[in-house]
Amino acid sequence: DGDAYKYYCDGEWRKSSSGKTVAIVNPTTRKTQYKVQACTQEEVNKVMELAKSAQKTWAKTPLWKRAELLHKAAAILKEHKAPIAECLIKEIAKPAKDSVTEVVRSGDLISYTAEEGVRILGEGKFLVSDSFPGNERTKYCLTSKIPLGVVLAIPPFNYPVNLAVSKIGPALIAGNSLVLKPPTQGAVSCLHMVHCFHLAGFPKGLISCVTGKGSEIGDFLTMHPGVNCISFTGGDTGISISKKAGMIPLQMELGGKDACIVLEDADLDLVAANIIKGGFSYSGQRCTAIKVVLVMESVADALVEKVKARVAKLRVGPPEDDCDITPVVTESSANFIEGLVMDAKEKGATFCQQYKREGNLIWPLLLDNVRPDMRIAWEEPFGPILPVIRINTVEEGIHHCNASNFGLQGCVFTKDINKAVLISDAMETGTVQINSAPARGPDHFPFQGLKDSGIGSQGITNSIDMMTKVKTTVINLP
Ligand code: G3H
């Protein structure tokens, strides 16, 4: 298939020997937009073999040189923001401005990673033995951080570029090699991003990008004996990866059901603005989206009115026009969201707007008076549908939040900082935002989920640490 994008192996673009391709359907037109190679298991083996040998030389390349190449890649990526954003628009229907922001943010992330890397990897520790009982000062212990080997990076469709470079940057600065398996929707954006690393001049085989069907190469990649670390962002697949993976470090971020707890004294205009941003940006397709509002009954009517007024102003349509609400990523995703809406309807939720759908485009919908027996109270729609649960006590809100399988982020709105901190302590989530919607960024902040939301902690510094191991050398004095 001459039109299909090639995959990246040994510093060059190749066609798969399978002769097969995977189609990428544009969520807006619902027609095939691009095709990528359906790589084979043999091709994965080849990529792993090259990654292993390239890593050995890369680990010996001076840290400042590794950083220099990353800075170069960051600059090239930013120069190519327009064509990459165009791919994001066509593959994942991300609004035009947000698509550009994603690429620019990714360039900044790579540069920051290079800077952080030269500092934290340029330092080690020095310990002496006589601080531990029974020891004389006869042992000097030197520590440094060494790479793990081959890092497998699997980003999700919603930030295919940003959540790829958040894995690639830390892996490379720390001296690892990198195998990237992009999501199907977002694969072409990833291939363009990889081309920027190619143009920067990284050694052959150090970075590879294999595309294809999960059924053919998914398990094969994640269970491959050549992989020394997996960094995955996505959905439930992460749970099965963590069960099947070998004895290697895992970094997983698997979604959430971020709650927004609103107290009586909250600034309701601020809350409404954050519910719109947190609940509806990129049509709710963010792991950190607000996915349930838990509001005190006494201010619920006023808040719902304010949110309704803002929902009415959201622009619904194609990503090319930079609309706020754009088609969700696939038809099956739209069907899933619709299932949640229908369940809430049968069980008596109050519809603040009429439910409307055309193809993959779902109009924003606020569901009031949601009760715990409705699926939408617990499940993650990954769409522009937001449930409101009215609560009579703060404890009720905390209880709902903690009864979830997820524990990514949450937010609390109140003018009482003491209460906010106590609520934050009580919420079983990796992060709590006080008086703002949940968000992963800035990208150097620690980012982690409890329970089914993930394993480990991300953020630039934490990812570099996670992709290294401590090595010690002990000098024994006579
Ligand atoms: O979808 C998950 C992303 O990590 C969310 O990132 O909070 O920067 O939108 P964000």
For 346-370, write each residue's pLDDT tens digit.
999 999 999 999 999 999 999 999 9
Each residue of 316-356: pLDDT tens digit? 999 999 999 999 999 999 999 999 999 999 999 999 999 99
What pLDDT, on the 0 to 100 scale, is given for residue 2? 62
Helix (H) or strand (E) holding 56: helix 41-60
Whole-number Å distance between alpha carbons of 66 and 354: 54
- Tell me: the pLDDT tens digits for 390-428? 999 999 999 999 999 999 999 999 999 999 999 999 999
Which whole number is the average pLDDT over 454-473?
Answer: 98
Nearest to 409 by CA among 367, 453, 461: 453
Rounded mean pLDDT, 91-111: 98
Atom of ligand 1 nearest to the CA of 285: 1
Please identify which of the residues 287, 323, 352, 411 carries the catalytic annotation.
287
The per-residue pLDDT for 271 is: 99
pLDDT at 8 over 70: yes
Residue 168 CA to ligand 1 centre (angstroms): 17
Average of per-residue pLDDT values in the chain: 98
**Apex CA 171: angle with CA 125 and CA 121, to 5°?**
20
Catalytic, 216? Answer no
CA 286 to centroid of ligand 1, rounded, Å: 5
User: What integer pLDDT is reported at residue 1 of this predicted model?
Assistant: 60
Q: What does the pLDDT read at residue 358?
A: 98
Largest Cα–Cα separation, the chain? 82
- Name the residue with the closest Cα to ligand 1, atom 2: 287
State both tokens at 210. Answer: 């294999």
**Ligand 1 atom 8: residue of nearest CA:** 440
Residue 288 CA to ligand 1 centre (angstroms) = 5
Q: Cα torsion at 277, 279, 281, 283 (round to 10°)?
A: -160
Is residue 49 annotated as a catalytic residue, yes or no? no
Cα(193) to ligand 1 centroid in Å equals: 19
**447 Cα to the center of ligand 1, angstroms:** 10
Q: Tell me, what's the pLDDT at 148? A: 98
Query: Nearest to residue 197, comparing CAs of 72, 94, 354?
Result: 72
Residue 386 pLDDT greater than 90, yes or no: yes
Mutate to test the pocket of ligand 1, among 94, 163, 252, 431 (most ligand atoms within 8 A of CB): 163
Strands 385-391 and 290-296: parallel
Which value, in Å, is the radius of gyration of the alpha carbons in the chain?
A: 24
The confidence band for 189, taking pLDDT boundaries of 50, 70 and 90, is very high
Average pLDDT of the segment spanning 240-261: 97
**Is there an atom of ligand 1 within 6 Å of 286 CB?**
yes
* 288 pocket-lining for ligand 1 (C-beta < 6 Å): yes
Q: In sequence order, which residues have a C-beta less than 8 Å from that of residue 191 and are 6 or more positions away?
A: 5, 6, 7, 8, 36, 182, 209, 211
Give the residue, out of 92, 154, 281, 288, with the most ligand 1 atoms within 8 A of its beta carbon, to mutate for a pocket test: 288
pLDDT for 93 equals 98
The CA distance from 93 to 384, in Å, is 14
Ligand 1: distance of its center to the CA of 440 in Å?
Answer: 5
pLDDT at 190: 98
- The amino acid that residue 310 corresponds to is R
**Residue 440 CB less than 6 A away from ligand 1:** yes
Q: Decide: 292 in ligand 1 pocket, CB within 6 A.
A: no
Q: How many CA atoms lie within 13 A of 326 on its CB side?
A: 30
CA-closest candidate to residue 148, choices 456, 448, 449: 456
Residue 163: Cβ-neighbour burial (10 angstroms; 0-12, 13-18, 19+):
buried
Residue 389's CB is within 10 A of a number of other CB atoms, namely 23
Band (pLDDT 50/70/90 cuts) for residue 95 is very high
pTM of the model: 0.98
305 C-alpha vs ligand 1 centroid, how far in Å? Answer: 27
Rounded to the nearest 10 degrees, what angle do helices 63-79 and 81-92 cross at? 70
DSSP 152: E
Q: Average pLDDT for residues 458-475, to the nearest whole number?
A: 98
211 lines ligand 1 (CB under 6 A): no
**Tokens 């190679």 correspond to what residue?**
37
Q: Which atom of ligand 1 is nearest to the CA of 158?
A: 1
Strand, coil or helix: 33: strand
Tell me the average pLDDT across 382-387: 98
User: What does the buried/exposed string (b/e) look like for 330-353 if buried means 16 or more CB atoms within 10 Å of the residue's CB?
Assistant: beebbebbbebbeebeeeebeebe
Q: What gap in Å lies between CA 402 and CA 391, rounded to an integer?
A: 14
Instruction: Report whether 257 contacts 292 (CB < 8 A).
Output: yes
Rounded to an integer, the average pLDDT of 187-212 is: 98
Phi-psi region of 172 (alpha: psi -120 to 50; beta: other; left: phi over 0): alpha
Instruction: Determine the residue of 157, 287, 333, 411 to mutate for testing ligand 1's pocket, defined as the one with the most ligand atoms within 8 A of the Cβ atom.
Output: 287
Do you know the residue count of the chain?
478
Ligand 1 lined by 161 (C-beta under 6 Å):
no
Which of 253, 260, 323, 401 is catalytic? The answer is: 253
Testing ligand 1's pocket by substitution, the residue of 167, 440, 458 carrying the most ligand atoms inside 8 A of its CB is 440
- What 3-state class would DSSP assign to 291? strand
Residue 449 — very low, low, confident or very high, per pLDDT cuts 50/70/90?
very high
State the DSSP string of 432-462. EEESS-----STTS-EE-EETTEESEESHHH
Q: Is 159 near ligand 1, meaning CB less than 6 Å away?
A: yes
Q: Give the Å distance between the CA of 12 and the centre of ligand 1.
A: 31
Between CA 59 and CA 146 the distance in angstroms is 8
Say how far apart CA 122 and CA 116 lie, in whole Å.
10
The candidate with the shortest Cα–Cα distance to 400, out of 370, 378, 375, is 378
Contact 231, 153 (CB under 8 A): yes
DSSP symbol at 312 = T
